[in-house]
C-alpha cells in the first residue's frame, strides 16, 4: 500500500506566525485529503485536493501529484489552529485512505 | 443534518466481554469506514464498506467484525474484547471521489 509521511512531527508557533506542513506519499495518488484534529479529538476535513491548489480563509493547500507531495499552509496562525494535522491518500480505485502519523501544532498566545 | 453519528461515546469493558459500536450517516454516502486511533500511531483502518452489502478488511481487522446493515448504518463488533483493543474508534463516510467525514469517536477501555 501507499506510505504517507508527514513533517515536521511537532511545530510550535507564536500567534500570528505562518507555517507550512508537508505530506509525502510513496506512489502516485488520485486522492489526497487534509484533516485537523482539535484538542477535543474531533476530526475535521480541511481539503480534498488530489492536485492543484485550494484556499479556505487563512488555510491553503497545494498538491503536486507528479512529485508526490502536498503542502498545507497556515497563515496568521491563531490559538484555535492548535491540534494535529493529518494528511491521507489513496491510489487507483482503492476506496480506503492511508493516513500519515500527523503534525502536532501548538500555537502560543 | 447530523452527519456521522457514533454511539456510545465512552465504554469500559472487561476482557472477554463483547460489544457493538454503532454508526449512522445521513449524507447518502456509499462508502463507510471504521478506524482506530492509538497514541502516536495515527489512524489505522479496521474495515470498510464500499457500498451497501459489501465489506472489506483494512490494515488491522483481527478481533473485529462489521455489518453494513443498510446504506446508512455500519456497525463494528468486538466479540471478545482484549486490552490491546483499548483505543479511540472513529467511523467515517464519504461519496466516492469526495471528502471523508468523521463521527465524534468512541473511547473504549478494555480492562
Nearest to A87, CA basis, from A74, A70, A75, A73:
A70
A74 or A26, which is more confident:
A74
> For residues A78-94, b (16+ Cβ closer than 10 Å) or e, as one string?
eeebbbbbbbbbbeeeb
Of B33, B40, B101, the CB nearest to A45: B101
Grouping H, G, I as helix, E, B as strand and the rest as coil, residue A48 is strand
Instruction: Decide if B76 contacts B64 (C-beta within 8 A).
Output: yes
Average pLDDT over residues B73-77: 97
Q: Does B19 touch chain A (CB under 8 A)?
A: no
Distance from CA of B108 to the nearest CA of A (A): 14
What pLDDT digit, counting tens, does each position of A43-101 carry? 999 999 999 999 999 999 999 999 999 999 999 999 999 999 999 998 876 678 899 99
Q: What is the DSSP letter of A97?
A: P
Amino acid at each position: 500500500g501507499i506510505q504517507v509521511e508527514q513533517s515536521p512531527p511537532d511545530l510550535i508557533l507564536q500567534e500570528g506566525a505562518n507555517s507550512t506542513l508537508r505530506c509525502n506519499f510513496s506512489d502516485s495518488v488520485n486522492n489526497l485529503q487534509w484533516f485537523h484534529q482539535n484538542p477535543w479529538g474531533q476530526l475535521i476535513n480541511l481539503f480534498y485536493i488530489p492536485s492543484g491548489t485550494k484556499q479556505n480563509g487563512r488555510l491553503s493547500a497545494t498538491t503536486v501529484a507528479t512529485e508526490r507531495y502536498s503542502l498545507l499552509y497556515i497563515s496568521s496562525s491563531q490559538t484555535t489552529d492548535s491540534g494535529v494535522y493529518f494528511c491521507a491518500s489513496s491510489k487507483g480505485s482503492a476506496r480506503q485512505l492511508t493516513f500519515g502519523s500527523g503534525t502536532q501544532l501548538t500555537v502560543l498566545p | 443534518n447530523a452527519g456521522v453519528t457514533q454511539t456510545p461515546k465512552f465504554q469500559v469493558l472487561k476482557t472477554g466481554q463483547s460489544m457493538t459500536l454503532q454508526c449512522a450517516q445521513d449524507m447518502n454516502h456509499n462508502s463507510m469506514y471504521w478506524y482506530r486511533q492509538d497514541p502516536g500511531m495515527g489512524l489505522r483502518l479496521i474495515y470498510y464498506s464500499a457500498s451497501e452489502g459489501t465489506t472489506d478488511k483494512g490494515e488491522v481487522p483481527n478481533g473485529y467484525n462489521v455489518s453494513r446493515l443498510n446504506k446508512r448504518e455500519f456497525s463494528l463488533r468486538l466479540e471478545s474484547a482484549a486490552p490491546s483493543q483499548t483505543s479511540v474508534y472513529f467511523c467515517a463516510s464519504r461519496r466516492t471521489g469526495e471528502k471523508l467525514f468523521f463521527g465524534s469517536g468512541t473511547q473504549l477501555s478494555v480492562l
